[in-house]
Structure 1
Amino acid sequence: MPSAGRKYRASEKREQTRQQNSAEIQAAAWRVFCSVGLDGANVRDIVKQSGLSPGTFYNYFRTKEAIFEVVAQNLFERLREATRAARARARDVDELVVIAYSSYLEFLQATEGALEFTDRNQHHLRSQLYPSTAIAGILQDLEQDLRRFIGRDAMSDEDVFLFASMIIAAGAEAVFSATRLPGVGPGALLAFLTKFMLRGLGAWVGAAREPAAEAIAPRLYANDA
């Protein structure tokens, strides 16, 4: 009869094999999704890239959409960790916004295939962004970071939430849109995003925007009361 120690080692080996197989399948899926996107991919492509059998694939994932979700969420989690660590260096709110965007763009550049993955899977990534626990975590992180520099007397909790949400939304859409603008590189994107978030439309037209907003808002929201 096998000893308890042998049982443990066998179980440990199976777990290591399971983790290795899952990692190989995810790495293969990443390469396929970066190359042809989710719409152009099929399970055969992923299986071939992984070097494993179709049966092994289906032991872990039922569809290509299922593994796409795992791969996308892993990317979001890594993005969260990288940008959170970078933002911790900020000394004021302006620097916080600059670092938030620069670390985000640097992460995409430094992660092999990330820009291609983003470009070829835009509509799928949009559907994954807001239900994502990782993106919800980034939103919470940004709210906490903003509160380091902005008191509640200066900005309400609701406004902080909206501002943090806009940082995320603007960053995502800027990267999605930049794929249609070949002349816009990371430096230009960073300049646009920081100008947009820190100075608003006044950065372009030089006008005082607040009085206009105060004049228009009552007409738009007269029924709120």
Structure 2
Amino acid sequence: MHAKLQRRQALTDARRSLVLDAARAVFLEAGIEGASVREIARRAGYTPGAIYSYFESKEAIYAALLDESIQRLQSAVADAPVARDGPGQALAARAQAWFDFYAANPRELDLGFYLVQGMRPRGLTSELDHELNDHLYQALRPCEEALQEMGLDADAALRENTALFAHGVGLLLMQHTGRIRMFRQSADALFKAYVAQLVQRVDGGSRQPGLFGGTVQPDSTDT
């Protein structure tokens, strides 16, 4: 009986994966608003009614795709090899992990930032958008925690992490669109330089101001 249930679950998972693969292609081509459950079903080889047995709406399908993407991102950040040289090295490793993830998977960036149809979360409910934003924030939180371990207070660490992510995403967009070539620069090299400067600035002294006026709290050993 147990083996039968396992086979049934495996079949369900395989069918769900097939639906998500088809949906990914449709969303990338048509965006959230232009996509339809009927077209997703056609590409997956199912009827629309069969799709609804797995997902209640096309928005739920899109959310499932993004959630799986963010889970892979979270694993990449968590599994990043971190040297035992302090939180500065941890920050660099975690930041490089999410940058490399999106650099190697540009379609994940497109879906995650709604670039398939403008820059706004069109087609998603506010509840789904909030939930996915929270999952993304949790995936990036190890960088923020490393900044706090380096001595930043919570508000300053949040601002620095926000700026770090914004800087990296900007470079990734320039890389994916080819615009970085007009400057004859490497997005990866520029990101590494930004992170190195961030680590040096934050770790350079407990009394130095953080980005945007945030303050660095004295380390417990600096007495």
Relative to total residues, which structure has the larger helix share, 1 or 2? Answer: 1
Separation in 2, partners of 1:41, 1:57: 14
Change (3 A) 1:180 1:27: closer
Offset of residue 59 of structure 1:
0.7
- 1:182 paired with 2:183, answer no
Structure 1 window deviating more from structure 2 (19-28 vs 108-117): it is: 108-117
Q: Could you tell me which residue of structure 1 aligns to residue 160 of structure 2?
A: 163
Amino acid at match of 1:158: D
Change (3 A) 1:123 1:22: same
Offset of residue 170 of structure 1:
3.6
Structure 1 window deviating more from structure 2 (88-97 vs 56-65): it is: 88-97
Separation in 2, partners of 1:184, 1:58: 42
Q: Could you tell me which residue of structure 2 aligns to residue 86 of structure 1?
A: 80
Change (3 A) 1:81 1:58: same
When normalised by structure 2's length, the TM-score is 0.66
Q: Could you tell me which residue of structure 1 aligns to residue 219 of structure 2?
A: none
Between structure 1 and structure 2, the one with the greater Rg is 1
| Over 6 Å off, 4+ runs | none
- 1:120 paired with 2:116, answer yes
Q: Could you tell me which residue of structure 1 aligns to residue 143 of structure 2?
A: 142
Change (3 A) 1:14 1:82: same
Aligned counterpart for 1:29 among listed residues 9, 23, 26: 23
Change (3 A) 1:144 1:155: closer
Separation in 2, partners of 1:123, 1:189: 24
Offset of residue 180 of structure 1:
8.7
Structure 2 counterpart SS, 1:124: coil
Aligned counterpart for 1:16 among listed residues 1, 6, 10: 10
The alignment's C-alpha RMSD in Å is: 3.7
Amino acid at match of 2:145: Q
CA contact (8 A) 2:38 2:47 kept: no
User: What fraction of aligned residue pairs are identical, expressed as a percent?
Assistant: 18
Change (3 A) 1:179 1:38: farther
Amino acid at match of 2:100: E
Separation in 2, partners of 1:108, 1:180: 10
CA contact (8 A) 1:33 1:41 kept: yes
Change (3 A) 1:103 1:197: closer
Q: How many residues align?
A: 193
Offset of residue 38 of structure 1:
1.9
Offset of residue 15 of structure 1:
2.3
Q: What are the ranges of 5 or more consecutive residues in structure 2 without an aligned counterpart?
A: 202-207, 214-223
Q: Could you tell me which residue of structure 2 aligns to residue 61 of structure 1?
A: 55
Q: Could you tell me which residue of structure 2 aligns to residue 220 of structure 1?
A: none
Change (3 A) 1:99 1:199: same
Separation in 2, partners of 1:160, 1:116: 27
